[in-house]
Structure formats: C-alpha cells, structure tokens
Amino acid sequence: MMIKEKLTPFTEINREAGHYIAGGVVSINRKVSPQIVFIKGKGSKIYDVTGKEYIDYHAGFAPYLLGHNFKKINDAVLEVIKSEWSLMGSGTNPLEIKLARLLCESIPSLELVQITNTGSEATAHAIRLARAWTKRDDIILTLGGYNGWHNEVARHVMPDLEEIGSRVSAGEYPFIASSSGIPESTKEKVHIVNFNDLESVEYVLKNYPVACLLTEPVLQNIGIVSPKPGYLQGLIDLCEKYGALCIFDEVKTGFRSALGGYQAVAGVKPHLSVFGKAVANGYPIGVIGGKKEIMDLFDSPDPAKRVLIAGTYTAHPINTAASIATIEFLKNPKAYAWIDKISNRLYKGLTNLFNEFGISFNLSTNASSFCVYFCEKTPDDLHDILENHDFKFDSIYRKALIERGIYHFPIPCKQGSISYAHSEEDIDITLAATREVLKSI
C-alpha cells in the first residue's frame, strides 16, 4: 500500500530547492523537520511564507542579540549605503579602525584584532597563528564543542556513546569526523578531551607537541554546559606551563554573555579569542584577537614567521557599520539590564511550569542563552547529556511548541536565545504555549 505524502504549504518550495541547491538548503545545518520556509524577521518575531508568526528563540543560531532587523543597526547600514562607502581592497579606512578600537576597548584580552567574514575563518586563522607561534602542530579540542567547518575542527558535535566510548580521565576520545574528505594525517594531530576535565588536558599536553587548546568557554552547541569554578583559568595555566596557547571560541558566547565576552564574566584572559554571531547583530563577521606579540605575526618582518591572513570581503562597510552600531548600543547598561530582566522572566516561568507538571529537568542558562535538559543531573560534559537526557521527549516538546507559534530549533539540546526585542508579552505567550504543550505530552 502506497503511503500518501503529507503536503504542507512549504512542500513545493522545498522541492524546487532540491532541484537547484545541493542538499536543498545552503547550509546543511539548516536541514531540519519541520521544513518551514521563513521569509521575514522583525524584532522577536519570524514569519513563514503563509504569514504565520512565531516568537523566535532560535535567532539564526544566536546572532540576533538585539532582535531581527533592529532599527539602529539597519539605520547604520543604510547610512553607509547612502554615503556610497565601498570596499576598495587597498589600505585601511576609518570604519574598520573604529571597529577595531571598540573591540579592543570592550574585551580586555584583545590588544590587537583582525577581522574575518565568519567564525570558522577566525578559528582557522587562530589555529594557524598558534602553530606559527609555537612551531608545533597538534591541537586540543573539546568533546561536544563546535568550532567551525574546516578540517581540523570538523568532528561530530553530538556523537553517540557507542562512537566515543565511556568517560575516560585522564585520556582522549576518537576524532569522529562530521565530513568526508578529511585527511587521516589531519585527524592524527587533533586530540579530543571532555569539557571540565583538566586532568585530560594535561595528559595530552604532556604527551604531544601541542600548539593550542581551542574551546568554547561555555559549550553552547549542545545546549548550555558551563565551566566548573577554576576550569577556565586552569586551562590557561596548563597551556602556559607546557608552552601552548589557550584560545577561546566566543563565537556563541561573545556579546551574549557580556560586552567583554564570557571571559570578562569569568575574569580570565586567554591568549587568543575569536568572536562572531552577535558582534554585528546578524550581519556576517568574525573577529580574531589577543596578545600583541602573537597577533604581530600577521605582519612579521620575517617572511618565514609571517602568517597569512587575507579576505576580499573582510570588514565590508555594511558589516563593519553594523558591528559598530551593535557595540555602541550594547555599551549602554540599560541594554543588558533589559535582556537580563526578560530572560529571567522566562527562566522563572519555565522552572515553575516544569515543577508544576512534575517533569525532571535542568534549566541551564548563560545570560540570554538557555537550554532545558530533561534529566535530573546538571550536565558538566557531553557524557552527562548522552547518558541522562531524554532526547525523544525533547524533540516532541520542541515540535509541539513550533506548532503553537514558539520557534525553537527542532533538534534536541540546541541553544535557545532571547533578544533585547523580546517583550514581557512575548514571554507570557511563550509560557502559556508551554503550559499547553506540557498538558498535551
């Protein structure tokens, strides 16, 4: 018996996409079910092709800290267009100088910066820079972290327990590639350890010629996994002890944690840092910065030491203007005060609801970023999630919310993001929809 295909208002659009786009979407990470076709975002809301409105907690993988199409950011972009700014591809210009100054003033560990188009480019440059500085090749990454798409970091973010095996400490885990086409020789230079495991970090540093450790200070691609007290400073101290560089990937934590990044919250200074996402409130940009003596390798007078950094479209006036406007807006304490207030309203409401319905949960948060884990233990690493989280319930929960106009990315353990544009009414509507969902499932 032939099962009749369930048609949706998006079916024909997705079919057409499949005819012309490899995989049907222009970033395979966007390939999810339900296959909703969105066409507009304004403030805290997104709209699909049918005109249906959703309160958005996905935020395009988190860059829209101020909300979609925030007026002050768009006005800055329109101004550079009206003023006929162009990317000359020769020399510097006042816009990129102003952005660099604002970044260095806002983030204490940044003595010099360089601009890229994406976070993946920034992490690739950071690894290359670390290798040039240390004259070593090996790197350490964190299990459950995401640091971009290039070969050294392209491993599964959420592998199965069967793939990685049980927790080991001190020790490391296999490189489970998220892509074919990665040379085995590249994988051999990459060492995967668990988050919050200083013993394993030291084990690798002792046994291999490590150039750098690259980690998110808070794991925000498997939800929200926070560092234990002393962990981040411990990473920096171990890297310094063994002659490696400690690199913070703050593409996700970045301005969402604070204007100075999560490193400012934790009171630590990594050797290098990369930023992206919220820097330009949705416009594409990446940042790499850190200690002057390391960053100076980008223009070393010695060709043998010089590290190439290039990009035709880096610091494009549109993206640069958006970044400047974003930082200047966030410098007003009232911006973060409102984001904190509205985030806490949601967190308190969700906590009350899950308690009311007797559901085992952990609401893990980092400022305006959050994740609900359906388990009794607050996760300290990926193993805690894989061993305890109810993935099936999470998937049902997210899709039921989407049906009611509350958009969370429909994959378990993906971060939720709250914006400056969210209102108290948005939160109350979200909580009312959550109550309906919990009643139904």
- Residues that are catalytic: 146, 249, 277
Distance between CA 366 and CA 256 in Å, rounded?
A: 8
Distance between CA 223 and CA 381 in Å, rounded?
A: 11
What residue spans of 140-261 are helical by DSSP H?
161-164, 184-187, 198-207, 231-242, 254-257
Q: What DSSP element (H or E) covers 391?
A: helix 391-403
- Provide the angle, in degrees to the nearest 10, between the axes of the packed helices 333-356 and 317-330: 80
Distance between CA 55 and CA 422 in Å, rounded?
A: 8
Distance between CA 273 and CA 260 in Å, rounded?
A: 11
**Contact in structure between 129 and 121 (CB atoms under 8 Å):** no
Q: What angle do CA 54, 363, 421 make, to 5 degrees?
A: 35
CB contact set of 209 (below 8 Å; sequence gap of 6+): 136, 137, 138
Q: What is the dihedral of CA 287, 292, 294, 296, to 10 degrees?
A: 90
Count of C-beta atoms within a 10 Å radius of residue 299: 11
Distance between CA 235 and CA 197 in Å, rounded?
A: 9
Region of 9 on the Ramachandran plot (φ > 0 left; ψ -120 to 50 alpha; else beta): alpha
CB contact set of 299 (below 8 Å; sequence gap of 6+): 306
**Contact in structure between 267 and 291 (CB atoms under 8 Å):** no
